[in-house]
Structure 1
Amino acid sequence: MLLALAAMAALISVDLPDAPALPPLGESAPAAPGATADRVGALFAGGLDGGHFCTAAVVRSDGHDVIATAAHCLDDPEGTVFAPGYRDGRAPYGTWQVTGVYVARAWTDGGDPDADVAFATVAPAGDGAAGNVEDLVGGFPVAAGQPDEATVTVLGYPRDDEAPVRCANTTDLFSETQRRIGCPDLSGGTSGSPWLVDGALAGVLGGYEEGGAVPEVSYSAVLGDRAVELYREASDAG
């Protein structure tokens, strides 16, 4: 019996593909295709020909139609479309028009960096996408109140790249309301990128200096009660 089990285990191990090696903490690399990356997408001005300028991610919601990004990415949302899983000029799940934006008054009235978080509803943009975006790619749960030194994974689209990059590192608090991470290559276009802790959205790249003045250090407003309320409003509206 033991020999038979050993032989079966050896056979299974041969058939299973090797898991992709992840870069060390604090190093950026291309994000591998898969379920996690498919929930992240680029924001475009008017369509895929308009160039992508920010990043967003699908989050779980009652209407299955909510994305999260930085508030400064949606200051002028008219014509903005979201392309989940975007790579090399292709939008495998279609494009999705922003239909409603939920940001705190502290952002709209004064650009408070602690309020640089937005949730938005989306609908098919008429290029073959249909139904609800979360039903196609899934969504990240939203998890406020993470520990100060949480290990965060960031996925985002640099403006000059046609595929997302990934970086993970341990974070710390820059202030009571701002979290920071050391990761290279999170340059312009990665604003709004999801900050994931154990697969749940714990922030978005933004906040202090709209995400940071250098690509080696990035920031996120700490998700608190205000952000959770915005998320609930967006979810209820879907």
Structure 2
Amino acid sequence: MTQSNPLTGTAFTGLPQIGALFGYDGTSTSTHFCSGSVVASNTGDLVITAAHCVYDSSSGSLLTDLAFVPGYHDGQQPYGVWTPSQIVVAPQWLSDQDPDYDVAFLVVHQPGSSQRIQDAVGADQLGVDPGFAALTQVVGYPSDTEQPITCTDYTKQFSPTQLEFDCPGYPDGTSGGPFLTDVDPQTGVGTVVGVIGGYETGGDTPDVSYSAYFSDAIDSLFQQAEAAG
């Protein structure tokens, strides 16, 4: 007799460094459609998400009308709204939406402020070549709810270039949410080793999520974003 996975994504009030991506008209946010998290950098202004979250497939171009709201929950924006001045995506994604490069970095700021987002909310370390099996917390924002969800389980290898995370309850909107290892129980900060995306842009059911494996190519993309910050 086999037992089903007793785990499921559970709503909570969130973590400061993790947030939702919203549509943004320059004045106010609209609906949230993806997730992201602040990643530690020398410039202190980088957010990681999935490339498919910031790419308009109909036009073949990157989105410009979006904003990142860290710590968002229940209509509250405790750390304000941050807008990207640059979005860095690998050419392999732009040319043919290669799922092994479904990662993007946003250089974000607040108009009229010199404060760095990393100083405001903290940041997860980037984990490069982390291996495939690790106890991992995954956080994301379902598009039809006002709280993020969290689940912790072991990842496994789906393919040589993709991570798999089996926990139900991750519907549309959770794409771009971080895969976190070595999470500090006091601060909620950890090491980001993936983002919901990759194979089937993160999974074709809410029960199984995927991420592109963070290889040296993703590290190079990070360094490019850091240089742009």
Q: TM-score normalised by the shorter chain: which range applies?
A: 0.7 to 0.9
Query: 1:94 and 2:80 equivalent?
Result: yes
- Scaled by the length of structure 1, the TM-score of the pair is 0.84
Q: Distance in 2 between matches of 1:130 and 1:158?
A: 31
Structure 1 stretches lacking a partner, 5+ long: 1-23
Pairing of 1:185-200 with structure 2 (within 5 A): 185-198=169-182, 199-200=190-191
Secondary structure at the aligned position of 1:184 is classed as coil
Give 2:24's aligned residue.
46
Kept in 2: contact 1:79–1:98 (CA 8 A) = no
Q: CA deviation at 1:125?
A: 4.5
Structure 2 residue aligned with 1:55, among 6, 14, 35?
35
Secondary structure at the aligned position of 2:221 is classed as helix
Query: 1:29 and 2:29 equivalent?
Result: no
Secondary structure at the aligned position of 2:209 is classed as strand
Give 1:177's aligned residue.
161
Give 1:73's aligned residue.
53
Q: CA deviation at 1:27?
A: 2.5
> Amino acid of the residue matched to residue 208 of structure 2?
V
Q: Distance in 2 between matches of 1:130 and 1:163?
A: 29
What is the aligned length?
210
Instruction: Name the structure where helix makes up a greater proportion of residues.
Output: 1
Give 2:194's aligned residue.
203
Pairing of 1:122-201 with structure 2 (within 5 A): 122-125=108-111, 131-198=115-182, 199-201=190-192
- Scaled by the length of structure 2, the TM-score of the pair is 0.87
**Residues 179-222 of structure 1, C-alpha deviations (whole Å, 9 max, x = no match):** 10111111000000000011100010000010000000000000
**Residues 36-76 of structure 1, C-alpha deviations (whole Å, 9 max, x = no match):** x1100000011654100000100111111000000001113
RMSD: 1.6
Secondary structure at the aligned position of 1:51 is classed as strand
Tell me which structure has the larger Cα radius of gyration: 1
Q: Distance in 1 between matches of 2:128 and 2:6?
A: 23
Give 1:19's aligned residue.
none
How many percent of aligned residue pairs carry the same amino acid?
40
Q: Distance in 2 between matches of 1:31 and 1:154?
A: 12
Query: 1:237 and 2:223 equivalent?
Result: no
> Amino acid of the residue matched to residue 23 of structure 2?
A
